[in-house]
Amino acid sequence: MYARDKILAMLNSDPHEQEALFAKAQSVRNSVVGDGVYLRGLIEYSNVCRKNCLYCGIRQGNESVERYTLTREQVLEASQFAYENRYGSVVLQGGELTSHQHIATIESLVAEIKSMSNNELGITLSFGEQTLDTYQRWFAAGAHRYLLRVESSNKALFRSIHPNDKLHSYDDRLEALHNLRRAGFQLGTGVMIGLPGQTVENLADDLLFLRELDIDMCGMGPYVECANTPLANVKQSHDLRWRLEMSLKMIATLRIIMPDINIAATTALQAIDPQGRLRAIGAGANIVMPNVSPSEFRGSYALYNNKPLSIDSTINECSVRYAEWGDSPHFRKDSK
Ligand code: 5AD
Ligand code: SF4
């Protein structure tokens, strides 16, 4: 069991030591979960959101965003594309909404994607904080993984990047994470790296938090300023290069301390460096989420500046495990 000081030392690796850290993380990944990369076709269902996170481009208060919600047909078409191209799974993601209508729509979309694909496509959902009952309904409909980032496990930092109101509560976020587990989901969470005011110690504590929560999957990446958001106007603590390198060290360190989980090479890495996702795979990640949303809407799902729009070339450069769910062995171990 790696203690906090060991974790901090890994995160503080200098550029030379960093190569050894990445090599170690790769070898841990290869021996524990294999050297293959699993694909999740990402469907950005809707950019309508009731929240106002200070860092996010599609926050409710951003009036410069053209709002859209995909139709049932568009979602099924994107899923069909993923299925035909032998992606093992899709991720259905969107802003946080809690209306009965929304909950029922997601529920029926999940069921339809399952039946359209002969139950073969795995489904991950990412629709923010919901009640236990909603999570249970979506799980019963056929989704089996859920992504809900904690953004920062440090309560003060969490508060500093969210409005100070009831809708944006750290405690509610933690409760939602526990409810996801109770509902039966494989649990994915993660943090943003390089936030204003965030220290390397905070990031080490984030990794301890992920281990303590015993997650099955992680998606984390650099914070990237987004135009028209409040957080872009505050003084930044770390330049983009630092955030990218620190993100890679976070991925490598997480792989070393939680060898059997799934770790995504996230899109935000690529917003800083065209090689970002590939480098993440070189640092121990094993999941890539190519965007399969209809192309006319991709520009409207701009969470941060310079977000890549196209299906990336990353997948041409690694050994892809086609048509497999690629569940984390960590979850199977838990459920025995
Ligand atoms: N920079 C990086 N990641 C961001 N996200 C939202 N806004 C930004 C940003 N400016 C991430 C959050 C959220 C996920 C959907 O996108 O971590 O959970
Ligand atoms: Fe909504 Fe998620 Fe953006 Fe927050 S981060 S405003 S919950 S889409």
Q: Tell me 69's DSSP state.
A: B
> CB neighbours of 197 closer than 8 A, spacing ≥ 6?
157, 160, 237
Q: Are 22 and 192 in contact (CB under 8 A)?
A: no
pLDDT digits (tens, 9 = 90+) for 290-334: 999 998 898 888 888 888 766 556 777 778 888 888 888 888 665
Residue 56 Cβ < 6 Å to ligand 2: yes
Q: State pTM to two decimals.
A: 0.96
Closest-lying ligand to the alpha carbon of 229?
1
For residue 268, give the ligand nearest its CA: 1
Sign of the CA dihedral 170, 218, 267, 50? negative
Q: Which atom of ligand 1 is nearest to the CA of 224?
A: 1
Kindly tell me the sign of the dihedral angle through the C-alpha atoms of 179, 182, 184, 187. Answer: positive
Which tens digit of pLDDT belongs to each residue from 183-204? 999 999 999 999 999 999 999 9
pLDDT level of residue 1 (50, 70, 90 thresholds): confident
How far is residue 27's CA from residue 23's CA, in Å, rounded to a whole number?
A: 6
Q: What is the pLDDT of residue 309?
A: 66
Which residue shows structure tokens 């603590």?
237
Q: For Cα atoms 163, 197, 179, give the angle at the middle one, nearest 5 degrees.
A: 50
Find out whether the beta carbon of 53 lies less than 6 Å from any atom of ligand 2: yes
